[in-house]
Amino acid sequence: MREIALALSNVLGIEISPLVTGKYRAGDIRHCFADISAARELLAYEPRITFADGIRELVEWLHCQEANPQANQFAEAAAKQLDHFGLTA
């Protein structure tokens, strides 16, 4: 997550400090890394877009979207519900 935040920070030209609480939801996969080596070997797959280019495309798309002023409230409420029901550790 920190690497993604840093990449977004670079493209946006702002400093982003992600809040890493160490909490997780019950059933979350906490240590998972993408590995396309099997797709490369079996399907001769090669990505056409680099991670950096994909982040730039994402930021371009985001600039065309309308912000939802209530988004933070929704996220906070969802986090509180997860805690309330004991679904975070």
Q: Can you tell me the distance from the alpha carbon of 36 to that of 44, in angstroms, rounded to the nearest whole number?
A: 10
Which residue in 21, 20, 22, 17 sits closest to 5, CA to CA? Answer: 17
pLDDT of amino acid 39: 96
Q: pLDDT (tens digit, 9 = 90+) per residue, 19-30?
A: 888 877 777 777
Quick one: tokens of 50? 């680099």
Residues forming beta bridges with residue 88, ordered by sequence position: 25
Delimit the domains of the chain by residue range. 2-84
Taking every pair of Cα atoms in the chain, the longest distance, rounded to a whole number of angstroms, is 47
Which residue in 57, 75, 59 sits closest to 19, CA to CA? Answer: 75
Q: Does residue 82 surpass a pLDDT of 90?
A: no
pLDDT of amino acid 33: 80
Write down the CATH number for the domain with range 2-84. Answer: 3.90.25
Q: pLDDT (tens digit, 9 = 90+) per residue, 31-78?
A: 778 899 999 999 999 999 999 999 999 999 988 998 888 888 888 898
